[in-house]
Amino acid sequence: MSAEAIATGETDPPLRPLPGRAAELPAGVDAPPRLVAHLRAVHDVAARLVEWVRRRCPELELDAEAVLFGAATHDIGKALHPAELSDPGARHEEAGRELLLGHGVEPGLARFAGTHASWTAPGTGAEDLLVSLADKVWKNKRVTELEDLVVALPAGADGRAAWEWFMELDEVLTEIGDGADRSPAYQMSHPLTR
């Protein structure tokens, strides 16, 4: 199956297709099928998180398109470091940022390849945190420190207590997590090699 078909075709479970340019990039960098499937799964969760933020806290300034592009390309550097698809490693982060820049992606969008695993770094914004959260929750992994940072965003925007926001975030993350077992199975159904 081609990278484009994985990025935009029908899936089981149903996942949103990768957006425009993000759907074209995997083929342009000869990304392994499993990587494209992973990007699509994380993108789908990011879209659900963006919808939740927009619905529950419209006061929070958020570049939704940046979140979706970031989620759809965050691990693109694994096309250059495919061993990191199955083994731990961080070489793909800077490599992914450089790869995106080399394909004409603006620095503000290429940054997600480098920031998705460093949510405590100075200058980390709402968009970066949502991409990081989507990259964890797609497989039902919960990270308290990251969730606390995400909860602080709407609390700071509308003045409600952080614990109230935590209860709402916990509800949406639990809902996403309840169906998360199908996403890793979908990813693993695609080969590691091209």
Per-residue pLDDT of the chain (194 residues), as tens digits, is 889 999 999 998 899 999 999 999 999 999 999 999 999 999 999 999 999 999 999 999 999 999 999 999 999 999 999 999 989 999 999 999 999 999 999 999 999 999 998 988 888 999 999 999 999 999 999 999 999 999 999 999 999 999 999 999 999 999 999 887 888 888 888 888 87
What gap in Å lies between CA 168 and CA 191, rounded to an integer? 37
Q: Is 120 helix (H, G, I), strand (E, B) or coil?
A: coil
Tokens of 95: 């490599």
Note the pLDDT of residue 194. Answer: 75
- Quote the pLDDT of residue 183: 84
Between CA 162 and CA 186 the distance in angstroms is 34
Write phi, then psi, for 2 (nearest 5 degrees).
-75, 160
How confident is the model at residue 182, as a pLDDT?
85
Evaluate whether 22 touches 43 at the Cβ level (below 8 Å): yes
What secondary structure letter does DSSP report for 79? G
CA proximity to 71, closest of 96, 102, 88: 96
- pLDDT given for residue 185 in this prediction: 85
Residue 184's pLDDT is: 84
- Judged by phi (left if over 0) then psi (alpha if -120 to 50, else beta), residue 125 lies in beta
| pLDDT for position 186 | 87
Q: What are phi and psi of 131, to 5 degrees?
A: -65, -45
